[in-house]
Amino acid sequence: MHQLPDSVSDHRTHQMVLLTGLYLFLCVMTITSYGQPIPVMGIMLEHGRAEVFIAIDSLITLYLFLGLWKRQVITWHLLLAYNLFEVINISINLWKLDHLVLERVLERSVDPQGLLLSNISTIVLIGWVSRMIWLQRPQFCNRSPYLF
């Protein structure tokens, strides 16, 4: 097991505990969405392509969760990059995907204003979480590139 530097306590801040729980929840939600259509960079992925994307995304979120748990330095960078990707993905989907495409795939009506509000709220939340990750930088002290 990798030892923590003397300058860093083994004590986890409440924010680190919450971040770890959040990314565990994100991992579980990603895994449970397997088989569902998903918008990615303005393209609606369905069937096999959606399954491959969600399988890869599930592995990424699992790695992020485990890296948070182990407080790896590389995970700090990956978390910020993953959150940036999510913000870009949401923005492009809002710009390129018409609500009618979502209605066709979901087989129900979609309120365009509600869709805009929920996506903008998600971007703000991701920004807030990214700020919390940024402020927790000293907690990421495990320089090992390996999870185990």
Q: What is the pLDDT of residues 44-82, one digit of tens each?
A: 888 899 999 999 999 999 999 999 999 999 999 999 999
Q: Is pLDDT at 99 greater than 70 in this prediction?
A: yes
Which pLDDT does position 8 carry in this prediction?
Answer: 52
| pTM summary value | 0.84
Q: Is pLDDT at 6 greater than 60 in this prediction?
A: no
What does the pLDDT look like over 87-98, one tens digit per residue?
A: 999 999 999 888
CA 7 to chain centre: 30
Q: Sign of the C-alpha dihedral, residues 116, 118, 119, 124?
A: positive
Q: Sign of the C-alpha dihedral, residues 108, 90, 75, 60?
A: positive
Q: 3 pLDDT band (50/70/90 cuts)?
A: low
Identify which has the larger pLDDT, 75 or 6.
75
Max CA separation in the chain (angstroms): 57
Give burial (CB, 10 Å; 0-12/13-18/19+) of 95: exposed
